[in-house]
Amino acid sequence: MARNLQAKLPPTDSVRLFDINTAAAERLSHEMKTQQAGGATTSVTTSAADAAKDADTIITCLPEPQHVKSTYASILSSSLRPRPQPRLFIDHSTIDPSSSRSVASTIPSHLGSFVDAPMSGGVVGATAASLTFMLGAPSDLLPRIEPILLRMGKRVLHCGPQGSGLSAKLANNYLLAIQNIATAEAMNLGVKWGLDPKVLASVINISTGKCWASEVNNPVPGVIQGAPAGRDYKGGFGIGLMRKDLRLAVLAAKEAGARLELADRAGEVYEKAEGEERCKGRDFSVVYRWLGGEEK
């Protein structure tokens, strides 16, 4: 994402990078300077606060709510000075909406505005700049935010005020978590009955059972070319990330008073599957393997 952003910015702009993995940040900066002609200048900083101090736009992408809270606390405690135009703080982290709103409330209005923009598309989408962003922000900020996001992706979906992007992302991923398990169960069931998995998938994908988990990320090896199932479930959307998103969706649902009748059982399935070495660290469609599905 940083590489695509830097490449599409003019040379008069600059990108200041920070990551706790210093070697990765240094390597990325070197690649930007040596492998790409033009674009913004780049440098590696020693802290998030250092990266943010002279920036008009701060972009963060972190694993968990506590990381987002601590990062913004460090930025705001560093005597951050106002800019001629108030800053944009764009957070791409997938966290719960309440935590995101909590962070947003700590940003003084004279310093800028905090918006949430979780994305869909994974590593492949990040590399190809084809990500979809689900944006939670005031409407009057869209003209400033969209051009930035479209340097890293191809679609921006404005979901409403701050926090709405995360609500949309978690609702979608909750549905995906359930669909993935159901698809694995249905495919396993059909194969056990003697059906050719490609035939079964073709039936599902022109019928009412059609979904992304069956059509694009089918869990049976060899059914969909390029799907993680065909490469020992490596790559793709990690089962640990799905567990995290499911947990966040459940948390947000409880806060909203929304019933999720299948959530607890789905969480157990992903927890048990990830606990087995043959499934750990693999794409979440590996649930099919955990169920005992044939992988011929």
Radius of gyration for the alpha carbons in the chain, expressed in angstroms and rounded: 21
169 carries an active-site annotation: yes
Q: Please give the average per-residue pLDDT across 238-255, as a whole number.
A: 95
What is the model's pTM?
0.90
Which CA distances in Å does 293 have to 92, 182, 232, 273? 35, 13, 13, 13
Q: Determine the Cα–Cα distance for residues 127 and 131; give it in Å rounded to an integer.
A: 9
The residue type found at 289 is: R
Alpha-carbon gap, residue 8 to 90, rounded angstroms = 18
Lowest mean pLDDT among 34-43, 164-173, 178-187, 248-257: 34-43
Contacts of 229 (CB under 8 A, 6+ apart): 217, 218, 219, 220, 221, 222, 223, 283, 285, 286, 288, 295
Q: Say how far apart CA 212 and CA 51 lie, in whole Å.
A: 38
Q: What is the mean pLDDT of residues 212-217?
A: 94
* Interval 177-210: pLDDT, tens: 999 999 999 999 999 999 999 999 999 999 999 9
Task: Band the pLDDT of 36: cuts 50, 70, 90.
Answer: low
Tell me which of 33, 169, 244, 296 is the catalytic residue.
Answer: 169
Round to whole Å and give the CA distance between 289 and 200.
17
**CA-based angle 198:204:207, to the nearest 5?**
140
pLDDT (tens digit per residue) in 73-131: 999 987 788 888 899 999 999 999 999 999 999 999 999 999 999 999 887 788 899 99
